[in-house]
Chain A
Amino acid sequence: MPALLSVEALHWRINNKDILKNISFNVNKGEILGIIGPNGAGKTSLLNCILNHQKSFTGTIKFRAKNVKEYSAKQLAQHFAVVAQKTVPIFQLSVFDVVRMGLLPHKSMFALDSSYDHRQILLAIEKVGLSDLKNNQYNQLSGGEQQRVLVARALVQKAQVLVLDEPTNHLDVYYQHQILQLIKSLNITVIMTIHDLNLAAQYCQRLLLLDQGKIIANDITNNVLEPKQLSQVFKLNCLREQTPNSSFPRVYFQLASDTGSGEKVND
Chain B
Amino acid sequence: MTKTSKLTILLVLALVSIFIALTIGPANISVTELITCLTNECHNSVSKMVVWQVRLPRVLVGLVAGMGLACAGAILQNITRNPLADPYLFGIVSGAGLGATIANLSLANQLTIALPLAAFLGALFAVVIVLLIAKALQRIDQLLLAGIAVSFMLAAITQFILYLGDPFASNRVLFWLMGSLTRVEMSHFTIIFSIVIIALLIILACHRQIDALLLGDESAVSLGVNVDKLRLLMLAVCAALTATIVAYCGGIGFVGLMIPHIVRQLIGVTTLPLIIGSALMGGIFLIWVDVIARTALANAEIPIGIITSAIGSIFFLFIMMKTKSN
Chain B residues in 8 Å Cβ range of A90: 78, 81-83, 214
Task: Assess whether B136 is interfacial by the CB under 8 Å rule.
Answer: no
Selected from A53, A75, A91, the residue in CB contact (under 8 A) with B214 is: A91
Within 8 A of A (CB), among B203-244: 204-206, 208-209, 211-212, 214-216, 218-219, 221-226
* Shortest beta-carbon distance from A167 to chain B in Å: 14
Indicate if the CB atoms of B215 and A101 lie closer than 8 Å: yes
**Known contacts A53-B221, A74-B224, A157-B223, A104 near B83 by CB under 8 Å:** no
Indicate if the CB atoms of B223 and A105 lie closer than 8 Å: yes
The stretch of A77-85, A122-130, A186-194, A250-258 in contact with B is A77-85
Task: Assess whether A174 is interfacial by the CB under 8 Å rule.
Answer: no
Chain B residues in 8 Å Cβ range of A112: 272
Selected from B78, B216, B224, the residue in CB contact (under 8 A) with A105 is: B224
Indicate if the CB atoms of B214 and A89 lie closer than 8 Å: yes
Give Cα A112 to B3, complex, Å. 14
Q: How many residues of A contact B (CB 8 A)?
A: 34
Chain B residues in 8 Å Cβ range of A77: 222-224
For B208, give the chain A residue with the smallest CB separation.
Answer: A104
Task: Assess whether A217 is interfacial by the CB under 8 Å rule.
Answer: no
Chain A residues in 8 Å Cβ range of B211: 97, 100-101, 104
Indicate if the CB atoms of A92 and B264 lie closer than 8 Å: yes
Indicate if the CB atoms of A107 and B208 lie closer than 8 Å: yes
Give Cα A219 to B216, complex, Å. 35
* Shortest beta-carbon distance from B71 to chain A in Å: 16
Indicate if the CB atoms of A88 and B215 lie closer than 8 Å: yes
Chain B residues in 8 Å Cβ range of A100: 211, 270
Indicate if the CB atoms of B216 and A88 lie closer than 8 Å: yes
Indicate if the CB atoms of A103 and B208 lie closer than 8 Å: yes
For B81, give the chain A residue with the smallest CB separation.
Answer: A90
Indicate if the CB atoms of B224 and A76 lie closer than 8 Å: yes
Considering residues B208, B226, B268, which has the most beta carbons from chain A within 10 angstroms of its beta carbon?
Answer: B208
Give Cα A89 to B78, complex, Å. 11
Task: Assess whether A98 is interfacial by the CB under 8 Å rule.
Answer: yes
Selected from B81, B82, B206, B208, the residue in CB contact (under 8 A) with A101 is: B208
Within 8 A of B (CB), among A45-101: 51, 53, 72-78, 80-82, 84, 87-93, 97-98, 100-101
**Known contacts A72-B224, A73-B226, A74-B224, A87 near B208 by CB under 8 Å:** no
Chain B residues in 8 Å Cβ range of A14: none
Indicate if the CB atoms of A87 and B219 lie closer than 8 Å: yes
Give Cα A78 to B224, complex, Å. 8
* Shortest beta-carbon distance from B305 to chain A in Å: 27
Using a CB–CB cutoff of 8 Å, the interface residues on chain B facing chain A are 78, 81-83, 204-206, 208-209, 211-212, 214-216, 218-219, 221-226, 264, 268-270, 272
Q: Which 9 A-B pairs have the closest CB atoms?
A: A77-B224, A82-B222, A74-B224, A109-B205, A73-B224, A91-B269, A88-B216, A104-B208, A90-B81
10 example contacts (A-B, Cβ-Cβ < 8 A) are as follows: A77-B224, A78-B224, A82-B219, A87-B216, A88-B215, A88-B216, A89-B215, A105-B224, A109-B205, A109-B206
